Amino acid sequence: MGGYNIVAGFLIFFFIFIYFVWFGVSLKIDSDKEKGDNIKINPYDQQPLQRKLIDKKNKRVGIFDLGNHFLIVGTILIAIFITLNVE
Whether 47 and 77 map to the same domain: the answer is yes
Instruction: Using a cut of 0.75, tell me whether the model's pTM lies above it.
Output: no
From CA 86, how far away is CA 64, in angstroms rounded? 32
Domain, as residue range, for 70: 41-87
Whether 52 and 69 map to the same domain: the answer is yes
Q: How far is CA 67 from CA 30, 45, 61, in A?
A: 45, 25, 12
**Residue 47 near residue 55 (C-beta atoms within 8 A):** no
pLDDT attached to residue 1: 67
Whether 15 and 50 map to the same domain: the answer is no
pLDDT attached to residue 31: 77
Whether 29 and 67 map to the same domain: the answer is no
Reported as a single tens digit per residue, the pLDDT across 22-62 is 888 888 877 777 766 666 777 767 777 766 666 666 667 66
Whether 31 and 52 map to the same domain: the answer is no
Whether 55 and 34 map to the same domain: the answer is no
Reported as a single tens digit per residue, the pLDDT across 62-80 is 666 666 777 788 889 999 8
- pLDDT band at residue 12 under the 50/70/90 scheme: very high
- Quote the Cα angle for 37-40-42, to 5°: 155
Whether 45 and 87 map to the same domain: the answer is yes
Whether 46 and 33 map to the same domain: the answer is no
Q: Tally the domains of the chain.
A: 2
